[in-house]
Every structure is written in C-alpha cells, then in structure tokens.
C-alpha cells in the first residue's frame, strides 16, 4: 500500500504544530477546501481561530515560500487588501514541525465576488492595479516565471505518456502540437519587461469579497508573468459580456497602474496554457488520496473526450479577433 506525505498530518499533529508556534489550541479543527496544500481552521483558547496552511512537501523550497511571504507582506504594508502570513516576535512567517513547513494566517470572512456585476469588476481592477504597481517595483529571485515550456510542453508530455487513453492519443497529440505552435507564435511577442510579480492564480475562489472590498488570499502560485495573467480569468460569458467586463477591469486597473493594450491579444493564449496545465496538475497529484476523492470525474474516458473537445474550441478561440475595450 502506497502512502502519501500528508497521511502523517493527523489532527493531533496539526494542533501540536500550531502550539509549537506559541498558540494554545482548544482542539477545534476544521479542514478547509484546499488540495494543493492542506489548510485548516484551528481553534485557539480565548481567541479567534487561526488558519494554518501546511505546504505540500517538496513542491516549493524554503526560499521560494519566503519570497511568496515577503511579496504578500509588501502588499499588506502598502495597505492593499491581501491576507498575508502572520509574523511572530522573531520576524518569522514560516514554521517547521515534524518535516512539514507551515504558516499561520488571521481568519478573514467573505464570499466570492459576483462577476456579472460590473461595479465589482471595477473594484477588482483597482485592487489588481495596486497589486501590480507594487509588483513592478521589484523582482522575484527564486519564484517561477510563467513559460510555455513548463505550462504546456511539459504538461503535454506527461499527459501523453501517462494519462491520455490510447485511442485518443493521435487526436490529442496532433491537436496539442498545433496549439503549442499557435501559443509559441503569440508568446514570442512577450518581452522580458512584461514579466512582473503577480498573484498568479486569480480566480473567485481566491478572493474574499466583503464590504465592497476584494481581499486577495493564497499567493501560493505567485510568479513573474505578464499582468494579463491576473486579469483574464475574471472574464466570462459571450464576447460582448467579456468586452464589458474587460473594459471595467482596465478602467479600475489604470487608476493605479499603466495597462498595456498589447496584452489583450494574449488572453486566449494564456487560457490555452491554463487548460492544458490544469489537466496535468490533476495528473501529477493523482497519487494524493485527496484528489481521487474530490475530482471523481478526472481521468475517465468521458473526461478526456470532453477535454479534447474543449481544446478544439480553444483552437477556434485563438483564431478570433482579440477583445476590444468599449
């Protein structure tokens, strides 16, 4: 029977880890919806609960995690609404217990923003503009940079080797080869100066909306990438809807940070990278028991057939004219 490193992370170990950081737990424990890492709400005696995030073993180096923490603290110091790790009396944000690296966060309430509300898009744009203004002011030294090789080429190779059903291999191999050619052609326009420090995983699940404010959480995927990588995932619906949403985002964004209209052309390219990388991410994590339990639809014949259909539709999207600001 195979074991996974997280199998050792028992409730007692979680509480012991938090107490090793100087807090007395009342033993109340609630697992939150997190799969890449393990995240728990931990009750604290005579105080509000804390959020404990246990980083996936061997994914990030200590230096990479600390660089994530410094970025989110830099944003917090600029009075931007992000949820940054707590800093102890010794100035530390990252703790170690029984081989696990973990960080503690104050609990914040909120709910996902409604993306069909254009006023919300304006607020999201303003917040991202402020985040990116800080992001432009420095550089990552050890965090990843977004790349076609890592997100598409390596992901494609893994899926072809291990996951794509044999009878679907020819269709997937041919289609993704064509997609890679299209993506690399567009990505050749991206210049070194286009890479700034960004959140890297901007979807509604990583935003707590409260009092007309967007609180950004989970900087686990922060990286160096074009600004558009943090904007495009908020766009949904028909073309006209997406143009309205983009226009509101950019209006708010431009109040705090210059927006480069060249990057509108990169939206479908970035979406293509995420579609293929997401499937490979699930594949890479399939040995973690939490993934088959939570993603029961993955790695079935139906899933791969639908995935190929989605990629065909994405090929068509790559041929369309870029969105326009209204």
Which positions are catalytic?
Answer: 201, 218
Neighbours of 51 (CB within 10 A): 21
Residue owning tokens 């530390």: 92
Residue owning tokens 């509000």: 48
- Are 125 and 79 in contact by the 8 Å Cβ rule? The answer is no
Detail the DSSP E strand segments found in the chain.
25-31, 38-44, 47-54, 95-97, 100-106, 196-198, 207-210, 213-216, 223-225
Look up residue 139 and give its two tokens.
């550089």
Of 183, 82, 194, the residue nearest 127 (C-alpha):
82
Helices and strands per DSSP (H, E), number in the chain: 10, 9
Distance CA 57, CA 326 (A): 46
Distance CA 35, CA 50 (A): 19
Of 80, 193, 173, 191, the residue nearest 126 (C-alpha):
80
SS3 106: strand
Distance CA 29, CA 5 (A): 20
């Amino acid at each position: 029977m195979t074991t996974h490193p997280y199998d050792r992370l028992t409730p007692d170990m979680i509480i012991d880890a938090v107490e090793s950081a100087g807090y007395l737990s009342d033993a109340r424990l609630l697992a939150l919806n997190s799969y890449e890492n393990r995240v728990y709400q931990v009750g604290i005696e005579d105080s509000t609960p804390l959020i404990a995030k246990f980083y996936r073993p061997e994914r990030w180096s200590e230096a990479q995690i600390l660089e994530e923490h410094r970025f989110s603290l830099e944003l917090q110091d600029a009075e931007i609404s992000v949820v940054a790790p707590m800093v102890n009396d010794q100035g530390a944000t990252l703790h170690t217990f029984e081989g696990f690296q973990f960080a503690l966060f104050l609990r914040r309430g909120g709910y996902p923003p409604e993306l069909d509300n254009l006023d919300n898009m304006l607020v999201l744009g303003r917040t991202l503009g402020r985040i990116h203004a800080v992001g432009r002011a420095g550089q990552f030294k050890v965090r990843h940079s977004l790349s076609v090789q890592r997100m598409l080429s390596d992901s494609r190779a893994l899926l072809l080797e291990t996951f794509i059903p044999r009878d679907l291999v020819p269709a997937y191999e041919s289609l993704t080869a064509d997609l890679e050619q299209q993506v690399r052609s567009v990505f050749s326009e991206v210049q070194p100066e286009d890479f700034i420090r960004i959140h890297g995983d901007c979807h509604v699940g990583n935003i707590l909306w409260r009092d007309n404010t967007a609180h950004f959480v989970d900087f686990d995927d922060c990286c160096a990438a074009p600004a558009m990588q943090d904007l495009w995932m908020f766009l949904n619906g028909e073309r006209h809807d997406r143009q309205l949403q983009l226009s509101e985002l950019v209006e708010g964004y431009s109040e705090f940070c210059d927006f480069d209209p060249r990057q509108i052309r990169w939206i479908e390219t970035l979406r293509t990278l995420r579609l293929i990388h997401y499937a490979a991410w699930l594949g890479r994590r399939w040995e973690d028991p939490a993934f088959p339990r939570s993603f029961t639809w993955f790695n079935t014949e139906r899933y791969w057939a639908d995935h190929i259909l989605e990629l065909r539709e994405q090929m068509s999207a790559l041929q369309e004219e870029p969105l326009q600001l209204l």
